[in-house]
Amino acid sequence: MTGQDLDPRTPVIVGAGQSSERLGEPGYRRSSPVDLAAAAVREALGDTGADPAALAEAVDTVAGVRQFETSSPGAPAPLGRSTNFPRSVARRVGADPARAILEVTGGQGPQHLVNELAATIAGGACDVALIFGAEAISTVRHFAGAPDRPDFSETVDGDLEDRGYGLTGMVSRLQAAHGLTGAPSQYALFDNARRARLKQSREEYAAGMGALFAPFTRVAAANPHAAAPTVRTAEELVTPTERNRMIAEPYTRYVVAREKVNQGAAVLLMSVAAARRLGVPEDRWVFLPGHADLRDRDLLDRADLSTGLAAIMAVQHALEVAGIGVADLLTIDLYSCFPIAVSNICDGLGLSADDPRGLTVTGGLPFFGGAGNDYSMHAIAETVQRLREAPGSYGLVGANGGLLNKYSAGVYSTTPGDWRPDRSATLQAEIDSWPTVEQTVQADGWGTIETYTVKHRRGGDRVGIVVGRLEADGRRFLARTADSDGGMLDLLSTGEPIGRRVYVRSFAAGNRVTTGDARMDELFPPRPAVLRDDYENVLVRRDGHVLEVTINRPEVRNSLHPMANDELDEVFDAYFADPDLWVAIITGAGDKAFSAGNDLIYSASGRPMWVPKNGFAGLTGRRGMHKPVIAAVNGYAMGGGCEIALACHLVVADVTARFALSEVRVGLVAGAGGLVRLPRAIPEKLATEMILTGRRITAAEAAEHGLVNRVVEAGTALEGARALAAEILEASPTSVRTSLRIMEETRGVPDVIDAISRPSAALDGLMVSDDTAEGLTAFVQKRPPRWRNR
């Protein structure tokens, strides 16, 4: 096919450009990400051989790749940032597009945007698209605290199609609780699993990683845009030294992506009709004959943690669409944030680490630079230039994002050809149908190690992270080592840990793993279920058979942080274990609030967060609450405070009380039981309104709908709860416990007769109890019973 035979809507890349600068070198300008992207766009416009001004004026769509500082909620921007990155860049180069896109987070972004907008052009909904990205992390880090720091703030008007962070599946509370948040530790799980699958020793595998990346350093050393243009040997890359410290086993610093860069890249994409109209010579045209975009299962859902099957499928499908094989490629660039991202594709395609074509055209992320989410834009730009120098050849760009699970692939060529749709949607449906691995959040018992890593902190501290399977049922668990467990850390850092038998136990702050059950007891001696005298956040008072518990944080409206939650959990453990305590009352100090729920100021501080295994306040997730707990609500019961009240058996509220599940107003949900308990406690429509709007209801409204048992005068909630407790104490404590147990046992039985006739060991036990005998005897003798609680 010749250029004259092409469908006029066929998409072609007509321009590619890059920009960069390094601290302290000639020409350094302290450029912002917008400046670097704009410089790359100018290069791309000039690369076309046509009039740059006319090209810029013709652009109808711009798409920007996110910077690190806009890739996650709350990410800092010490030097400021643009409010509309795509339009800031467009304005710099004289473009005024109808559409502006800000892509989701992930290294797949550049190739995905090329694939997507090429299809949009082929479908006639776009004519000229400009795609770009940039990072100035090196400059931002250097000047963050400087008095003469530049100001990168820009406010730009205009529509923006902000696609959001795209972090779903990338971060979870479970992973955060176990320190599995940084990319090195996450990717290390894959590489260690792959090493075990290949049955290689640590030394053999390290040598392989060095051999894989040593050729990358040579490419980077010859690239004028590289951030670290230094040739290194395979041994140098993987040998730990003071400069090349271990980060997360098996990774040293030299084999992970280098984020301190100042780099920008851009490509100009348009229809054949637009290229002809705007005077772009055909020798500048580069086609996209093959393309694919796939997403793998989330990290802990995958059956095999030694590979990324969806990434391999994406590359294979892109080659299939292009109608070529691996042997037909002139150039290859595989996203190289960590060794596994490259070796995974090599495994799938049968490529060797020493392939004479090389596996990178830039030098790779550890050496050229991991330009945030934008690295592959540089790979595309380099590929375009090389293919123009070898007409008729093919080049592959593989772009990885997330946790080895978001992958976009593109095959490029100067050979003319109409647009060919891919079957990514069909393949994605196949991937989505793959079975997931059953997991447990709280793991207890013996298990085996499936994969692992050891994180090395700058001060020399280490922490081990383990993915394993429980022996009892095969469920997958995530756990970490205790800080003082040198034995377990040594197990993970020597020999072959994968397949080894270990012991895991769940705690409020997550699962902990060690070498055995006896060692676990040494590290975490069982906490005695007894009351103490020295709580920091709670006041405790015993009055006969009644335990009064007061949340003592009035300065923050009795909101709860992890330490307060832990103390409440400990107090209620003691209450339920003490046979002389028959009724508990929980209230809040002062007259403003029962509890305002989660301490949002603490949780926003970035400090570690956890909730006891028994739930918020040690109550909302507790099973077997077979002794009554009364909430004495004085003032506001908001969010988690309302959830505490919902978890109690009885509620006494003074007239000032207000109840609300207010989490939606701060971007959260009532996940400590409110979403489940409130619709079961009050009319569903009212519950839904409260949940979706955060509406507050008064004590009177709560009583009307059955959420509250009694409403009392202002300031007398505790006295009212004491009066209710006194009434309960007149009954047999054994009967009270049995009643609560049977109510719990039958709660899920829909048929009333089935529930009534259901066998109950608790009821059988009551019939032969001392309290039943005493109650009947006292009734006959017409005297008050003397309960024995047995």
Residues catalogued as catalytic: 643, 663
Alpha helices in 481-535, H assignment, sequence order: 486-493, 517-523
Alpha helices in 648-769, H assignment, sequence order: 674-681, 684-693, 699-704, 717-729, 733-746, 752-757, 761-767
Backbone φ/ψ region at 188: left (φ over 0), alpha (ψ -120 to 50), beta: alpha
Q: Which residues contact 340 (CB under 8 A, 6 or more apart)?
A: 187, 190, 191, 194, 308, 404
Cα distances from 515 to residues 201, 441, 525, in angstroms, run 22, 20, 15
**Alpha-carbon span 504 to 494, nearest angstrom:** 20
Alpha helices in 294-450, H assignment, sequence order: 309-322, 339-349, 375-388, 424-432
Q: Which residues contact 364 (CB under 8 A, 6 or more apart)?
A: 213, 216, 219, 220, 336, 342
Given the DSSP bridges, would you call strands 99-102 and 61-64 parallel, antiparallel or unpaired?
parallel
**Alpha-carbon span 405 to 790, nearest angstrom:** 58
Residue 178: both structure tokens together: 């176990």
| Identity at 495, one-letter amino acid code | G
589, 640 Cβ separation under 8 angstroms = no
Cα distances from 61 to residues 7, 14, 114, 132, 701, in angstroms, run 21, 15, 12, 11, 54
The candidate with the shortest Cα–Cα distance to 286, out of 397, 370, 371, 134, is: 397
**Alpha-carbon span 243 to 517, nearest angstrom:** 39
How would you class 226 by CB atoms within 10 Å of its CB: exposed for 0-12, middle for 13-18, buried for 19 or more? buried
**Alpha-carbon span 89 to 101, nearest angstrom:** 12
C-alpha angle 258/175/481, rounded to 5°? 95
416, 6 Cβ separation under 8 angstroms = yes
C-alpha angle 278/6/41, rounded to 5°? 35
In this structure, the chain runs to a length of 790
How would you class 783 by CB atoms within 10 Å of its CB: exposed for 0-12, middle for 13-18, buried for 19 or more? exposed
Rg of the chain in Å (alpha carbons): 32
Tell me the three state secondary structure of residue 740: helix
321, 209 Cβ separation under 8 angstroms = no
Q: Is the dihedral of CA 687, 688, 693, 694 positive or negative?
A: positive
Tell me the three state secondary structure of residue 270: strand
Q: List b or e across 135-172, with b for residues whose CB sees 16 or more CB atoms inside 10 angstroms.
A: bbbbbbebbeeeeebbebebebeeebebeebbeebbeb
SS3 sequence, 20-65?
ECCCCCCCCCCCCHHHHHHHHHHHHHHHCCCCHHHHHHHCCEEEEC
